[in-house]
Structure formats: C-alpha cells, structure tokens
Chain A
Amino acid sequence: MAEDTRAELSIIYALVEDRPGVLFKVTSLIRRRGFNIETITVGSTEKERVSRITITTRGDARIVEQLIKQLDKIPEVMKIGELDLNDTVFRELAILKVSAQDSAKRQDIYNYISIFRAKVVDVSKDSLIIEIVGNPKKITAFLDLMKGYGIIELARTGIVALPRGGKAGHD
C-alpha cells in the first residue's frame, strides 16, 4: 500500500471477541461509513478468545474519532482507541524478492541490508528474498533503495503496535 502523505497517520487498536465474522463486521463498517484503511492487521493477544485489530488510517482528528465511535458500537468490540504516535511502539514486517544477478549489485544490496538491519531469508541464482522489520517509514525508505535493483515481488504486513510503558490494556 502506497504511503499517503495527505494527512496525519492514525493508529487505532481494537480488542475484539474472537468470534466468526468479527473482522467482517469491522471492515464492513469501515467501508460503509466511507473511511479509508491504509493497513489492518489481526492476531491473537495475551488473553484467550480476544484478538487485537490494528488499523492505520489517515484523516483529520474528527474523522478518526467518528470512526472509533462507530466501531465501538459493534457489540464484539471490547475496547477501542487511538494510539499516541509519540508514545507507541509500532512495527511492520515486509518481505521482498529483489533481482540480484550481477555480483556487484548483489554486494550493494548486502550493504543496504546491513545498514537497515534487514535479513536475507532466501537466496537463489538471480534473486534474493529479504525480510525487514521496523517502522513503516524505514521500510519505505529501504524499498525506495531496492526499487533501483528491481523488486520482483513485495509483501507488507501492515502495522502492529503497543503503547509504551508498563500498563496493559491501554488504561
């Protein structure tokens, strides 16, 4: 997903009951209320039968607040809120297949991998698969560099995030 610079990034988290159809309800509501999702991730949490959904979107504060209030009306949503970007750890993972036929270029790529603390996870005669974890800006910067070498395929996970500090549950 191309990064959009039109408006401030917002990260919304929702803790939801892990029941069939909950993700559908969340995405269906976002669609029908006319909001635009940049990334969405879903996964398990420290609690059984509770999933965490992390949504990133761009829009002014009023729109984001409205989205949160609408999502909060879904009965399975147990907790929802916006994360403060300055006080949040957020990470994304990307894996990309880069063309690397020529050994000089391959060496350049290895240099960048080392600078960005990325990792080679698969090597073939004429390509590499690289894994990179970090905040989305770092990933985008790395991808921009790799474009010059030829990105054959790319997969990004979208953002997962937790607030800093000792407390759980965003209290």
Chain B
Amino acid sequence: MRLSGARAVVESLKKEKVEVIFGIPGGSTIPLYDALYETSKDSGIRHILARHEQCAAHMADGYARAKGVPGVCTATSGPGATNLITGLAVAYMDSSAVVAITGQVPRQMIGKDAFQEADIVGIATPITKYAIQVNSASAISETIRTAFLLASTNRHGPVVVDIPKDVMYEEVDMDYAENVKIGGYTVRSGEPHPYSIKRALGLMIGSERPLIISGGGVIASKASEELIRLAELMMAPVATTLMGKGSIPENHPLSLGMVGMHGKGEANIAAEEADLIIAVGMRFNDRTIGKMDRFGMNAKIIHIDIDPAEIGKNIRADVPIVADAKKALSTITARLSEMGSKRGESEWTKRIRSLKESFVENYKRENKGMSPGRLMKILRDVIPKSAIVTTGVGQNQMWAALHFEVLEAGTFITSGGLGAMGFGFPASLGAKVACPGRHVFNIDGDGSFIMTEQDLATAVSESIPTVTIVMDNRVLGMVRQWQCMFCEERYSSIDLGKVPDFVKLAEAYGAEGVRVETYSEFEKAVRKGLKTELPLVIDVPIAMDEKVLPMVPPGKSLKEVVWFG
C-alpha cells in the first residue's frame, strides 16, 4: 500500500493501539494533521487539542500513568517542540512512558536556522530515554515501533520522534515492522538472579528490625500485592517514597507513609533505627534519604531495581538485585513462605506502633484558618478509593503526600522527580481521558495551578470534568516556608498578590468555580465535584503561615525531624 509518510505515522500509531493523542498543530505538522483528518472516521484515534504543548506532554504523562500504556503527544517544530520539554523531563524523572512526535523543518532546511527550527533531538536527548530524527518515510514505521518499545519496556521513559515535514509528504510502502532491533537494547526478563535472592534471604532472616522502602517501581510493575505479602510475612513496616505513595494502602497497619524531607516522623525514625532496609523500585533520591552519608548507617541494604545503573548510584547496597519489582518480590515471598518464616509481634513492631502513636497529635495541630491536613482527610473521606488524585508541586503536594491517604496503588499521580509546578492540572485531564469512569481530583496550589490553568479551555471544550482544589495561600508557599525557617523571614519575591479570582477565572473558561470558607463548605464542594459534568475549581483560602511539617532540614539526617516551624 503506497501512502504518505504522515499517513504512515497514523497507521503506525494505530498498530500501537493508540487511542488518544494530545497536541497542538503547527506549520511542520500540517501533513500529520491532514492524515489525522483523513482517517478521523475510522482510525479510532481521538485528538485532544491542548492550549500549550507543555500541557499536552503532561496530559500524555497523566494518561500513561493512569492507564499503564504509553501516552502520546505531538507538537510542531521549533517552539512547539521546545514547549514539550518540561513535560518530557517530568516523564523522564518519573519513568513514565510518553511518546512525543514532533514536526521538523524540511530536510534541506535543517541546520540553516529556518523558521521554527530547533534541534529538538539535541535538546531532548539528556531528558529522554531516546530521541531520534526520521530521515526518510521508509523508516517511519520502524522508528515508531522502536519508540513504543523503548518507552514501555525495562525502565519506562519518554521518547521523541522528530519528523521533517517533507518526510511526511514522501510516499512509502507501508510495512509495519513488528521486530525492531536497536543497538544493544534488550527487553529484560526482569527475573532476579538466584544468588542475589539467596543472599537477600540471608539478610532478611537475620534481621531484627527490617524496614521496606517502596518506590515508584512497585507501582509501575503492579507489585503491590507482593509488597504487602512481604511486609506481612516479615512484619516489616513499609515506608514509601513520594513516587511509591499508595504502593501499600496507607491505612494498612504496617504502612508508615512517606519517608524523607517531608516524610512522616515515624517513617524517618524507623529508617534510622532499622537494621535492614529493603529498598524496592526506588533510587535513594536526596529528598528521600536526607544526609547521604548518614542514611542507613545502622542497616544493611537490599536494593531491588530494574535499572542496573541505579544500583550503587547514590547508596551502596549490600545486596543488589537487578530485577522487576514484582518478579523479585514474588520470588522472595515464595521462598520465605516455603521456609515457613512468618513472623509475629516483636520488639520492633511494638516500637513502630508506639512511634506512630506518639506522633498522632503532632499531625492534628491546627492554626487559625483551615488546616491543610484536615482538608485532606475530608477529601479522603468523601471520594471513593478508586478516585485518582494528581497534585501540583510545592506545599500542596507535600500536604497531599503527608495527609491524604492513598488506598489503591496508582491512584496518586505527582511530579516526584522533577517537581514541575503546573503538572497537576493537565495530568488530571490526561488521567480522566484514560479513565473516564473514575473521579479525578487535582490538589494544587495557587502558584502551581496558574502555570497551566489555560488548559481549562481544553477541559471545557473536550468535556473533561476534573476537579481542581486550589490550596490558595496567595504566596509561593514552599519558598516562603524556607525563607521563614532558613532565611530569618526575609520574604523575597514570593507574594502572588490578590489576583486572580479563581472562581471568576474558572467561569471565564466556561468551567465552574466555587470558593469555600469552612470545612463543611469544602465537603459540599467536593461532593459537587463527584457529580459535576463541567470542570470544577474549588478555591480554598489557606493561611500563608501554614507550613509543611514535619520537615527534615536540608543537609540533616532523617532523625533530625523538625515538628514546629
């Protein structure tokens, strides 16, 4: 079958079972959009017109995380492509399978500083798993197959496919390659090595105070069940990273919540007291481990990760296990069961319980005005456990991490690694498109939301009803908190002033907006959000002195938790 390069792109995407593309057309992608138009009746591909390419990338990311399949975004050459960058960097840091198709100027104009030319492969290479330019139409189908393979195997990540405009017009025989080979890339089985399992079991059996730290890899490999089994067999408490939040239901008796800079006191102290740390699908980020040379000083460390380059990168593991989290955990739990090593109550479990109890009151502390912690608890009580929650970045994100209990793995979507403000709202739209039958709530801050609020237009015109809760303190709250705690209250450029009025802003886009002043109004607004057919923005005034506490100050070890700021 002879067809245009652009049509070959669409046919290739169909082969990859792509159902949705998030993007904005432009000069270099006109042929692609023409092919999408041509096939719109029968391709089964829905195009969602974003209002900013960054949002298109975040939407594709939210879609990928919510659905567990690659999310696809597209942008034109030059500014369209460069606008994707923050979104791709988020996907890279959080190992999310995003495929971005960018237009490029025609081949004979590349390198001539043509109108809307940018070296997107060069720009994107450091923040993607792979970036490639297609130099002839005959390579399109193979390259797109490669892109999806790379994005969604081993450790997932974003891939850019850059296609010059004239390549999209070139005619080609469509022949979709199922088997592609790229250099030395092999799809790993993810099976753990028997020897490392044996050594890990040795440490596990010998430990008295085991702690599991679970990361995003556990969610990516859908290993929650195995994680919980391991925790219960060993009676080991489970702390999570931000990315691993929800990998164990946070109301589980062995759940300690998040560990790290803004982690829970009990999780941080447990990390200091443990004699064995079983780290699964996590990478010992600085925000997780506090002072690097103090972390796990009293513990042996077993590190399970699918990416061999993570082993020994930040923390030296006593037993490294390069494996898929699900496969490693199921092997370990099977062996532990065979050995009949099921533990009961111990000094350690008692210690953990008393730690948790000792901090209960600390989390309930309230200042004047509405307490973020209590708002999170109300939200949790009202929305179903299958509801997906996305977050912005900053205090809002950390309040959600500390106080919103995630009860199902994969229902908490946040920019953990890059920490990109503006992520939450477009990610909520992507998640809602992926799972239209589920409720999607975005917990955001005023500073964060304003970075991407223009895509309320997308939400309204494409009928994507998500609910955004703006924790509205009229300042860049996390920076203000640091300036308060570490700069002697010299508040520098954090005041966002009185504008905008978020209710009117929502209404200007044809969405709904509501401002709440009390807990009961908040609860009512959240309930309204469960029924809304329009995107809803709930503006929640928060006192600017509200801090995220506890906190481990930068450069301190995890036990140096500060409870009062």
Contacts and interface: CB of A to CB of B under 8 A. Distances in A.
Say if A and B assemble together.
yes
Contact of B184 (A28, A29, A32, A75): A75
A72 B309 contact: yes
Given A32-B126, A75-B150, A69 B308 contact: yes
B437 interface: no
Interface in B441-472: none
A20 B307 CA distance: 26
B111 interface: no
Interface-central residue, B122, B129, B133, B309, by most chain A CB under 10 Å? B309
A24 B125 CA distance: 9
Interface string A111-139: 00000000000000000000000000000
B176 interface: no
A6 interface: no
B219 to A, nearest CB: 21
Interface string A52-93: 000000000010011001101111111110000000000000
Interface in B177-197: 182-185
Contacts, number: 48
Interface-central residue, A24, A69, A73, by most chain B CB under 10 Å? A73
Contacts of A72: 184, 308-309
Contact of A65 (B122, B182, B184, B312): B312
B312 A77 contact: no
A78 B309 contact: no
Nearest to A29: B126
A27 to B, nearest CB: 11
Contacts of A17: 182-183
Nearest to B121: A21
A28 B125 contact: yes
A29 B185 CA distance: 17
Contacts of A77: 183-184
Contact of A73 (B122, B125, B307): B307
A25 B123 CA distance: 11
Contacts of B121: 21
B312 A66 contact: yes
Interface string A1-43: 0000000000000001100110011001100100000000000
Given A21-B121, A24-B125, A32-B126, A75 B309 contact: no
Nearest to B316: A62
Chain A interface size, as a band, is 20 to 34
Contacts of A73: 307, 309
Contacts of A25: 125
Contacts of B184: 72, 75-80
Given A28-B126, A32-B126, A75 B185 contact: yes
A66 B185 contact: no
A127 B129 CA distance: 51
A69 B313 CA distance: 10
Contacts of A69: 308-309, 311
Contacts of B122: 21, 24
A75 B184 CA distance: 6
Contact of A70 (B133, B183, B309): B309
Interface string A98-121: 000000000000000000000000
A170 B282 CA distance: 32
Nearest to A80: B184
Nearest to B157: A73
B154 to A, nearest CB: 9
B304 to A, nearest CB: 16
B319 to A, nearest CB: 17
A80 B132 CA distance: 21
A70 to B, nearest CB: 5
Nearest to A62: B312
B130 interface: yes
Contacts of A24: 122, 125
Contact of B182 (A21, A32, A75, A80): A75
Contacts of A16: 183
A75 B150 CA distance: 8
Interface string B97-133: 0000000000000000000000001100110011011
Contact of B183 (A20, A32, A76): A76
Contacts of B307: 73
Contacts of B309: 66, 69-70, 72-73
B151 to A, nearest CB: 11
Interface in B304-337: 307-309, 311-313, 316
Contacts of B133: 20-21
Contacts of B308: 69, 72
A81 to B, nearest CB: 12
Nearest to A65: B312
A77 B121 CA distance: 17
Interface-central residue, B130, B133, B183, B308, by most chain A CB under 10 Å? B183
A73 B308 CA distance: 9
Contacts of A66: 309, 312-313
Interface string B236-273: 00000000000000000000000000000000000000
B480 to A, nearest CB: 31
B125 A78 contact: no
A117 to B, nearest CB: 38
Nearest to B146: A75
A70 B311 CA distance: 11
Given A28-B125, A32-B126, A75 B313 contact: no
B405 to A, nearest CB: 35
A64 to B, nearest CB: 12
B95 to A, nearest CB: 12
Contacts of A76: 182-184
Nearest to A70: B309
A84 B470 CA distance: 58
Interface in B126-155: 126, 129-130, 132-133, 150
A76 B184 CA distance: 6
Nearest to A21: B121
A32 B89 CA distance: 14
Contacts of B182: 17, 75-76
17 contacts: A16-B183, A17-B183, A20-B133, A21-B122, A21-B125, A21-B132, A28-B125, A32-B126, A65-B312, A66-B312, A69-B311, A74-B183, A75-B184, A75-B185, A76-B182, A76-B183, A79-B184
Given A72-B308, A73-B309, A76-B182, 5 more contacts: A21-B121, A21-B122, A32-B126, A72-B309, A75-B182
Give 10 closest A-B pairs by Cβ, nearest first. Answer: A78-B184, A69-B309, A76-B183, A75-B185, A17-B183, A75-B182, A75-B183, A78-B183, A70-B309, A32-B126
